[in-house]
């Protein structure tokens, strides 16, 4: 995809995403019911966008520490295989890597002594996943943006 097409895709996705973000509830406690009320496309889009944003901003540790791993993992584990099935070649490889990394993070946290309060060593493991994600995050973002726009 050339830069002009990528910019158009990003602008179209941003318009869709912004409208969705403006509908978010006022409190975090209302989020599960809000997500449940959304069509599958919107629910999956929000969860993938939050995942990508959290990991890019502060790593898997931030995604876990801010509570998104616990809250969104079930939806993420549905969205990623569906996204992967919709693409081919290198794009499928990128999504497979993201799926693998998310799965590693989820399993790691589940196996910690206290999954709600990780210690420094447990967070260090999550930090080790970050660099692998950063090798594909921009391509992953383009893939999921195109996927949700095509779903419309």
CB proximity list for 148: less than 8 A, separation 6 or greater:
13, 16, 41, 44, 45
User: Domain of 99: which CATH number?
Assistant: 1.20.1420
Cα(91)–Cα(54) distance, integer angstroms: 21
Q: Give the predicted TM-score (pTM) of the model.
A: 0.90
- The three-state DSSP-derived secondary structure of 88-120 is CHHHHHHHHHHHHHHHHHHHHHHCCCCCCCCCH
The whole-number pLDDT of residue 152 equals: 67
The segments of the chain whose pLDDT lies below 50 read none
Average pLDDT, rounded, for the chain: 92
The whole-number pLDDT of residue 134 equals: 97
| Count of domains observed in the chain | 1
Query: Is the separation of the CB atoms in 68 and 54 below 8 Å?
Result: yes
Q: Which domain holds residue 121?
A: 3-151
């Amino acid at each position: 995809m050339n830069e002009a097409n990528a910019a158009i895709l990003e602008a179209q996705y941003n318009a869709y995403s912004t409208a969705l973000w403006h509908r978010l509830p006022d409190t975090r406690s209302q989020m599960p019911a809000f997500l449940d009320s959304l069509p599958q496309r919107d629910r999956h889009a929000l969860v993938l966008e939050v995942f990508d944003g959290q990991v890019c901003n502060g790593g898997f540790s931030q995604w876990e520490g801010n509570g998104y791993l616990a809250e969104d993992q079930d939806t993420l584990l549905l969205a990623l295989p569906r996204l992967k099935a919709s693409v081919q070649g290198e794009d499928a490889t990128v999504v497979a890597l993201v799926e693998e990394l998310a799965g590693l993070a989820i399993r790691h946290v589940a196996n910690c002594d206290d999954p709600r309060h990780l210690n420094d060593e447990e967070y260090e493991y999550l930090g080790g996943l970050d660099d692998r994600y950063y090798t594909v995050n921009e391509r992953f973002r383009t893939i999921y943006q195109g996927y949700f726009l095509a779903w419309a």
